[in-house]
Amino acid sequence: MVREGFAALLRAQQDIDVVATAADGAQAVTVVRDQAPDVVLMDIRMPLMDGLAATRAILDRPAGGHLPRVLALTTFDLDDYVFEALRAGASGFLLKDAPAADLVHAVRVVAAGDALLAPSVTRRLIADFVTRGHGRAQPAQAAVLRGLTPRETDVLRLIARGLSNQEIADELVVAEQTVKTHVSRLLAKLGVRDRVQAVVLAYESGLVVPGE
């Protein structure tokens, strides 16, 4: 009922097409490879294959080079699975009891290539994840950061602190467009899709630690 309710809501939007639904994670992986959707709304807790495993399967082996963006659905905003879903490559998460308008907005946001989480929410989630002991510094990830310029490193630190592009521009006394350019370049160098993944890497590499 919930799944069909979500589908009906999205079908009612003129700019959104629902290409398929799936009853479990294994079915979701198959459907995604067949239909190549732009966005996948993924429940975390499902039979046969949970949403975490399904997200990894979808993003690790994209069909025909097409890489969809995954929105993780959860009941609680601090569910452990949320953090694991972000590490698996999800572009954000949405609470199941979110208003209908938030669901529609979320699909449009990630379809446009942005992360769903607001910077402040991203920081709180990842900081909490790290303080639970799951995010110790990884040497390989730290090595990736060495490819960034000093200014790009500064921008990444500010992203991880929860600042928006405009706030980063104010902090560094530069134009917002300059910040957007730095963000695009550092995402490309780090090999991540969006700000959420960049924040995860910043914490896991030890570049940023909770409480800074």
- Domain regions of the chain by residue span: 2-116, 122-204
How confident is the chain (212 residues) per 10-residue block, as mean pLDDT? 91 95 93 92 88 89 75 71 76 82 88 66 61 57 83 92 85 93 92 81 78 58
Q: What is the pLDDT of residue 141?
A: 65
On whether the pTM is more than 0.75, the answer is no
Superfamily of domain 2-116: Response regulator (3.40.50.2300)
Could you tell me if 147 and 107 are in contact, meaning their C-beta atoms sit under 8 angstroms apart? no
Q: What is the CATH number of domain 122-204?
A: 3.40.50.2300
**Cα 110 off chain centre by:** 8
State the helix-helix crossing angle for 150-160 and 119-129, rounded to 10 degrees.
Answer: 90
Q: What is the pLDDT of residue 14?
A: 93
Q: What is the pLDDT of residue 78?
A: 55
Q: What is the pLDDT of residue 126?
A: 62
Q: Cα(58)–Cα(62) distance, rounded to whole angstroms?
A: 6
DSSP designation for 14: T
Q: What is the pLDDT of residue 63?
A: 60
Half-sphere exposure at residue 169, Cβ-oriented, CA atoms within 13 angstroms: 11
